[in-house]
Amino acid sequence: MPEPSHDPSVFSEPHMRPAAKPTIAPDEAAGERRLVDEVRADLLSAPGQSIHEEPDIFPARKPEVLEQDWSCSRCGYNLRGLEAGHPCPECGHRELYRPAPPGSASYAGWLAGKLAGGSPRLGWLTALTLALAGGPLAILAALFKSGQSGV
């Protein structure tokens, strides 16, 4: 039996001691990391799949067959040929996202248009204007204690 510690600090209290970490075999952890990295690399490099795709926020929309490559976000299974919203045959995960219809405007297209139409000078000018206008307004609000009741 280990000898009790005579350290008077609070860190020797039972609730302050670090919890024992669950042990996992090193080869199992390495295999799991490798699998996750492979699936992630496949998802990020899949042609035609964008990180800017919109979620399926219209549940009443008719199910449509996916006519382009679309990977399951959990296991990486290619869902092409299945109806959008159908559970993944591999892991059963129901995908909340679906690819935008071909030729439709997507977030990625909108963002590219905004970036092409804007200029860095206009961005800096807007930020400077907001900073110069916001400072005095904050001081006035602090002086008049606007929005506070009581004391």
- Residue-number span of the structural domain to which 74 is assigned: 30-104
49: closest CA among 78, 86, 89, 84? 78
pLDDT tens figures, 82-112 = 887 788 888 888 877 777 666 667 677 788 8
Q: Do residue 46 and residue 100 come from a single domain?
A: yes
| Domain total of the chain | 2
Same domain, 134 and 86: no
* Per-residue model confidence as pLDDT tens digits over 118-151: 888 988 999 999 999 998 888 888 888 755 555 5
Residue 150 lies in a domain: no
Q: 43 and 88 in one domain?
A: yes
Shared-domain flag, residues 48 and 96: yes
Task: For residues 93 and 111, state if they share a domain.
Answer: no
Within a domain: residue 16? no
